[in-house]
Amino acid sequence: MQPGEPSRTALGAAAHRAVHQVLERGRIFADPLAVRILGADAEAAVRDAENNPSRRMLRLFIAVRTRFAEDALAAAVARGVRQLVVLGAGLDTYAYRNAFAESLHVFEVDHPATQAWKRQRLADAAIPLPRTLTFAPVDFERETLAGGLAAAGFDPAKQSFFTWLGVVPYLTAQAVLSTLEFIARLPGGAHVVFDYGNPPASGLDRDRFAAQEALAARVASIGEAFRSYFETDALHAKLRALGFREVEDLGPVLIRERYFANRGGSLPDRGGHVIRATTV
């Protein structure tokens, strides 16, 4: 992202979530606030999606990763989770429709510029700030995640859940693993859901490879280039070495089986993944 400006990819992801509510009627993931938080941008996002049908696969992946994360969160709350940390929150709306508001406190972590922009969007849309939400602005060039969360009142002794969606590809592998190490070491136990991509050079047909290259070029052109990819087996090994006991990884094949079982066509066995890992 550009200095002093909100993340443009955060706006793009929010647009995909909103468009999914309109064009697919929220079939995979229903979010009653997704269109509302976009405000005047919602109509243009729908028109853009209709004019660029090649972006539908990305839109559906974004819907899947959000659905997977929120389903996993619901199961984790039943297992004792009392804190949710939304890393790189962007325009995520979970805190404003929290189904567990009586028992789950939400911390939204993001760059100060992006967070200020979001708060203005919330005000413009007349979406109230719940008492169970705490904003944790963190400038990672000057602060650590641990420091930002501590300042916001996060309790490391409570079992916690982290969602980290649409962020990992934009970080270095070292930054990703450092964050996962912090989560794994929390004394109260933790769960994390994040998405990642396999290296694009193999396993994709020509059309899908071209689509992935076009996406990489598009995000690079706005100053938010992809910086990391992971081989699945190697990532699982790193997670277990950090202390995560349970790892559930949905790659393209399992995503299709779970969410698109009745659809025709082929799906590669490499590409975008969404993964859940837990230390408890």
pLDDT in tens, 68-107: 999 999 999 999 999 999 999 999 999 999 999 999 999 9
Alpha helices in the chain (DSSP H): 8-23, 34-38, 41-51, 56-78, 112-124, 145-152, 173-184, 206-221, 232-242, 252-259
Q: In the chain, pLDDT over 70 holds for what percent of residues?
A: 86
The structural architecture, per CATH, of the domain 8-278 is 3-Layer(aba) Sandwich (3.40)
Is the confidence at residue 219, as pLDDT, over 50?
Answer: no
Token code pair at residue 34:
């997704």
What is the reported pLDDT for 52?
Answer: 94
Residue 239 confidence (pLDDT) above 80: yes
Q: If pLDDT is split at 50, 70 and 90, which confidence band does 271 have?
A: confident
Q: Give the residue extent of every domain in the chain.
A: 8-278
Report d(CA 156, CA 146) in Å as an integer. 9
Pick from 110, 177, 95, 175: nearest CA to 149: 110
Instruction: Read off the pLDDT of residues 99-116 as tens digits, 9 standing for 90 and up.
Output: 999 999 999 999 999 999
Length of the chain: 280
Residues 275 and 193: beta-carbon distance below 8 Å: yes
- Residue 280's nearest CA partner among 145, 184, 136 is 184
